[in-house]
Amino acid sequence: MKHTTRALLLILTAAVAGCGAVEPASRNVPFDPAPTMQAPQAQSVQIADYSVRVPRSLRVSEANRYYPGGDIVWRGEPLGDRHQQVADILKDGIEKLRGGAATGRAVTVDIEVKRFHALTEKARYTIGGVHAITFDLTVRDATTGQVMVPTKTIRADLEGFGGARAIAAERNGITQKYRITNHLARVLNDELTVPGGYQHASQGVMGLINEL
């Protein structure tokens, strides 16, 4: 039943989005800029140290399908060590956050990636989709080592541009890597400074598919 539901959702999504898939590329096609980091609202912290772990047990898929299997799907860089590429993206997001939050309580941040499912070429240049990113986050006091935020699973999905919108964004330097890095910085900022932490936004039908 689970596989049947997923297949039906994929068919429905492709049917609904198919009309826009053949739209010609244009420099005038609007695109959403990468989200910017928010100023601290609940407390001020600085990330004194961090670790990012992408377990080698996570399965990489290079299949060019709308929704391939696998835990890691990443095509925003040349073919290579996808585990390391994903780790570097998380580290870049943390470094971006560190650059904007230099004062406050010193903390250490530990991240373990559970899923990093960005778009394949087939999805990116047709219907688009969702960058489905899930990781575990633990925050400790950098001085005492005391756990400030017990290990928490963060779902940090982001809309993935498709078709002409993706091409227009790429031409303006808004790559998948750029958007995801900035998004992760914002997610971590919210987790560290906003009451209740980051609030996951619904991603519609594609988000439902990622939950199956």
Residue 3: predicted pLDDT: 44
First to last CA, the chain: 11
Residue 60: predicted pLDDT: 98
Residue 101: predicted pLDDT: 56
Residue 43: predicted pLDDT: 66
Residue 29: predicted pLDDT: 36
pLDDT per residue over 140-157, tens digit each? 999 999 999 899 999 999
Residue 160: predicted pLDDT: 97
Residue 134: predicted pLDDT: 98
Longest Cα pair distance anywhere in the chain, in angstroms?
57
Rounded Cα gap, residues 98 and 50, in angstroms: 10
Rounded Cα gap, residues 105 and 204, in angstroms: 37
Domains of the chain, each with CATH number or no CATH: 2-22+41-211 (3.40.50)
* Reported pTM: 0.76
Running along the chain, 212 residues long, what does each successive block of 10 average in pLDDT?
42 36 34 38 80 98 95 97 98 91 84 98 95 97 95 97 96 97 96 89 52 48
Rounded Cα gap, residues 151 and 95, in angstroms: 21
At 115 the three-state DSSP class reads strand
10 Å CB burial of residue 30 (0-12, 13-18, 19+) is: exposed
